[in-house]
């Protein structure tokens, strides 16, 4: 998905937290008929599914809280990449209003470049869960509120 630039392409979300875990989620669709594979111990398991060559670039992601959402409900995450490899996230602005701006879960070989985070969470906006070989360059993090 490629926009026309962070100031020109703004994805605005009015997502209800009960409808999903993130404003924008990129992950493989679960196959309905998957052949099981046998691991070294002889146990059957489902093979891991991955999306390849995903490119997200040149847009802003803005979540707008709806007045219909109760204040005590947790906000959703901004951008979630799960089960993605050999991909890139470049020239994005992930704006305030998300629980975490960016989450990488079960990812491999992801390049993250020139991303501006406006996140109020203590995590710094980025959460890595089983993220292998993540390369980052050119981050702008929020100023400390201390």
* Domain extent at residue 84: 1-28+48-65+75-146
In a domain, 41, yes or no: no
Higher pLDDT, 76 or 40: 76
Closest CA to 76 of 99, 45, 54: 99
Residue 88's pLDDT is 96
Judge whether 38 lies within some domain: no
115: in domain? yes
* Alpha carbon distance 117, 124 (integer Å): 8
17 assigned to some structural domain: yes
3-25 mean pLDDT? 77
Query: Collapsing DSSP states into helix, strand and coil, what is residue 48?
Result: coil
- Domain contains 9: yes
- Whether 104 shows a pLDDT value over 90: the answer reads yes
Confidence at residue 99, expressed as pLDDT on a 0 to 100 scale: 77
* Per-residue pLDDT at 146: 45
pLDDT tens per residue across span 43-81: 666 667 889 999 999 998 887 765 545 545 556 788 999
Beta bridge partner(s), residue 38: 44
146 CB contacts (<8 Å, ≥6 apart)? none
Question: How many domains is the chain built from?
Answer: 1
Per-residue model confidence (pLDDT) at position 41? 73
pLDDT at 34: 54
């Amino acid at each position: 998905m490629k926009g026309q630039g962070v100031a020109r392409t703004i994805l605005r979300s009015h997502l209800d937290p009960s409808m999903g875990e993130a404003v924008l989620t990129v992950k493989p669709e679960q196959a309905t008929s998957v052949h099981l594979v046998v691991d070294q111990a002889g146990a059957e398991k489902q093979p891991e599914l991955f999306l390849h060559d995903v490119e997200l670039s040149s847009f802003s992601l803005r979540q707008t809280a709806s007045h219909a959402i109760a204040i005590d409900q947790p906000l959703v995450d901004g951008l979630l990449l799960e089960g993605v490899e050999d991909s890139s996230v470049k020239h994005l602005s992930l704006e305030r209003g998300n629980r975490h701006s960016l989450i990488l879960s079960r990812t491999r070989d992801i390049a993250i470049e020139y991303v501006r985070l406006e996140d109020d969470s203590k995590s710094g906006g980025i959460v890595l869960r089983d993220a292998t070989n993540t390369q980052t360059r050119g981050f702008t993090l929020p100023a400390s509120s201390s």
